[in-house]
Chain A
Amino acid sequence: MLQILINALRTGVVTVRYPAAQSVPPDRFRGSPVLRAGSHLPPPSVCPAGAISEHFDAAGRRAGLDLARCIFCGRCAEDPWADAVSMGRDFELAAHSRDDLRIEVVADDPAVTAPAPSRDRDAEAARISSEIHNVLGRSLHLRHLDAGSCNACDWELAALLNPVYDVRRLGIDFVASPRHADGVVVTGPVTRNLETAVHRTFEAIPDPRVVIAVGACAASGGIVGEGYASAGGVDRVLPVDVYIPGCPPRPEGILFGILVAIGRLDARRRPREG
């Protein structure tokens, strides 16, 4: 017992100060891809998760990237597209809407920029955030719901409770029963075999309730997609309030998304470069 106390004192405080202090991911970290307008952008076939799309109009070829689908493998940033795409450092990617996670640039003409996100949607997101904030306050108790994940997102959620991230310091906790929860964090694309359980868990949570889709599979179906055993994303089954891209998102990226959900931070707080 004494040895345990001595060890604990010797270890000291290991908890990070995020979000009060910025978190800087290591050099090799692959965050949000940055597409450069006016370059030779990769074709859709490059992306194993189907996150890259293209269409043609009067201005030329438009290439798009769906961050909700992106698995951050970095394949689109390799030769011969290394000039057109680079893997950015941004990991604070949570957004209220799937559309906010779509990046579109025109391949051949740098003068034509992507359309700005619509004002109405921002206003709607702000209204939802403030309502959640008013009703639930600054603290949030969440239920985890594994809807068919590969367990990577689950481990990162569990990591939020470890001594390094310790989200309880922010008034956030994971609870055992949906009846004690203010919302649910969902991982996985919603498998056919879990669809009933997903509905029942959601219905057991008292209103108002937030739904946070964690990781590419939950946000969009990800690499699993839609198929005989998969619904292809949580929003096919439940109303989603916040989408957190990543495969898996870093624990601090998930924490950022949870704080966005309760209106304590603005979504996508850092403007994208390029």
Chain B
Amino acid sequence: MNALRACAAGSVDADTGPRPPDLTVRLGRADDLPAAAAVLIGPHSMTLATVVATDETETPDGDLKVRYVFEPTTPGGPDRFVTLLVSVDAARPKVPSLTRTVPAANWHEREMQDLFGIVPAGHPDPRPLVVHDGWPQGVFPLRKAFDGSRRVPVEPAGEFPHLAAEGEGVFEIPVGPIHAGIIEPGHFRFTSVGETVLHLDARLFYTHRGMEKRMEGLSPLDAFYVAERICGVCSVAHGLGYCEALEQIAGVDAPPRARLIRGIALELERVYNHVGDIGNICAGAAFHYGTATGMRLQERLQQMNERLTGNRFLRGLVVPGGVHLDLPADLLGALAGTLQDTLSGLDGLMGRIEANPSIVDRLDDTGILQHQAAVDLAVAGVAARASGVDRDARRDHPHGAFAGPEPPGLQVATVFEGDAMARVTVRALEARESIRLIGEFVQRLERGPLEAALAEPLPGGRIGIAAIESPRGEAVHWLRTDAGGRVERYHLRSPSYHNWPAVALAAETAIVPDFPLVNKSFELCYSCTDR
């Protein structure tokens, strides 16, 4: 605090919150923001967790606000968020850009410019991010005055501005948004000389559906079904993150049995994702036996998901307050059998990959993400741990079955090479650890209630924040209720949101034909980035 006071020219007021261990620091002058962020990032070795803009023009404050949320990077450090809060004049909405000193802020600042009209002054790349060509000037969909239920006319517009390189033998290869396989949409603009990638400009947000606006004004219990459907393959993680934020606001804890069942579901989601992803990486290297094996193992797990919860993506299990379905002994027995088969299938598949020089050659040294780049971009999950960043929200921000007096001993898998092979290795290690954890959670299950009652209306004007380790890494959920206890603002920062810029960096170390492999080794979601 003293360091923050010393660096600021304006007033600095600190309060506890949103959770008891957290700190919210109000900066009287927005211009003090870069210096304050530098104190948190430098001497306190914190990193940017999320940035949340809110429109509070209809409240007594009558302003826009931006909250820059930081978190510690020390492995197993305190579970704490520090929020830098600045007030922005709605008539002249402008804040100093942090991107030059905190590269992870890049997309956050472009997003708040598009959706709130808050200009990040001095941003090195202020192109539109979320809204594409033809979006009318001066219309900001996440402002409260904007009616989100209406469609906005498309205005005539030119081509998407991108970095153009010229010179002998320099080519531009546009790919997407519609791709050749069954995958999500995004546009990639490669600039290359021969096969060597000089630069990659990824344009995303094609699947921007306005999910955050969609949730505003809903009862938080209804909005849960929207949060659970932001992303298919992260349904448990995002549903759980929303629930934990909501339960904080309500002052309710899920019962112990529900917490363990949530833990089983979260790890099961990780296993079916990782096993399928290893198979898909084999597809990128034309190793069809590996692809078919990964698909078969994943299919078996998704059939198990359907037996457990009635849905192949585990939807309908986690609900606000606890879990909706119990896991009786017969289903748990079937689950144990499936996981045992998955484990031997995974070991067999990894053995075949590691024994096959033509696959190893494709994966080794391909798409390297340097450790420092992973740190600067606040990269999350498998991609971070494969570049030697020892972070895992299950340990650093305990949630679900990882919270409580006796957390399970979690082995965080970290390797240092930063290439596609490292990301495959981390996935295999994590899938094995998740299978072990599910066994441990099942052992710990004791009889008890499944749901804690949540009385509506929920307390008004409160903030909940939760970080969940999804299959792709840490997702940060930020939820606030309005005076009537309805959803005023919800924001999801998915792991893919921080990891996409890292894909572009890693691709620049590869050749064009290896891009599918590099991309699959990160295996990011478009839908939870774009929302």
> A residues near B, CB below 8 A?
3-4, 7-8, 11, 14, 25-30, 48-49, 71-75, 87, 144-146, 148-159, 161-165, 174, 176-177, 188-189, 191-195, 197, 201, 222-231, 247-248, 250
Contact = CB atoms under 8 A, between A and B. Distances in A.
B428 to A, nearest CB: 17
B325 interface: yes
Interface stretch (B116-124, B302-310, B441-449): B302-310
Contact of B177 (A28, A150, A177, A194): A194
B306 A25 contact: yes
A68 B150 CA distance: 21
Contacts, number: 186
B225 interface: yes
B214 interface: yes
B306 to A, nearest CB: 5
A191 B348 contact: no
B209 A189 contact: yes
15 contacts: A26-B307, A28-B309, A30-B311, A73-B225, A144-B181, A148-B209, A151-B184, A162-B299, A188-B209, A191-B209, A194-B206, A197-B177, A226-B149, A227-B213, A229-B209
Nearest to B132: A193
Interface of B: 131-132, 135, 141, 146, 148-152, 154, 177-178, 180-185, 205-211, 213-214, 222, 224-226, 229-233, 235, 289, 292-293, 295-296, 298-299, 302-303, 306-313, 315-316, 325, 348, 352, 355, 525-527
A154 B182 contact: yes
A91 to B, nearest CB: 11
Contact of B306 (A3, A28, A177): A28
A158 B283 CA distance: 13
A152 B232 contact: yes
A162 B296 contact: yes
B296 A14 contact: yes
Contact of B229 (A4, A192, A201, A223): A223
A8 B352 CA distance: 12
Contacts of A73: 225, 315-316
Given A28-B306, A151-B184, A191 B208 contact: yes
A176 B180 contact: yes
Contact of B209 (A30, A197, A224): A224
A231 B209 CA distance: 9
A148 B225 contact: no
Contact of A29 (B132, B148, B306, B355): B306
Contact of A188 (B182, B205, B207): B207
A23 to B, nearest CB: 11
Given A30-B316, A150-B527, A151-B527, 13 more contacts: A28-B306, A28-B309, A148-B209, A148-B527, A151-B525, A156-B312, A162-B295, A163-B299, A174-B181, A194-B185, A197-B185, A227-B214, A229-B209
Contacts of A159: 295, 299, 302
Nearest to A221: B209
A154 B209 contact: no
Contacts of A231: 151
B227 to A, nearest CB: 10
A226 to B, nearest CB: 7
Nearest to B525: A151
A248 B208 CA distance: 19
Nearest to B310: A28
Given A29-B306, A156-B312, A192 B292 contact: no
A30 B310 CA distance: 6
Given A26-B306, A26-B307, A151 B232 contact: yes
Given A154-B184, A157-B182, A224 B211 contact: yes
Given A149-B527, A150-B229, A229-B209, A224 B214 contact: yes
Given A145-B178, A225-B214, A193 B232 contact: no
B152 A4 contact: no
Given A73-B225, A194-B206, A228-B210, A152 B313 contact: yes
A35 to B, nearest CB: 19
A32 B243 CA distance: 27
A28 B325 contact: yes
Nearest to B531: A229
Given A14-B296, A226-B149, A227-B149, A71 B229 contact: yes
B114 to A, nearest CB: 11
B180 A227 contact: no
A145 B176 CA distance: 11
A7 B296 contact: no
Contacts of A3: 352, 355
A50 B387 CA distance: 45
A63 to B, nearest CB: 19
Contacts of A145: 178
Given A11-B296, A224-B211, A247-B315, A29 B310 contact: yes
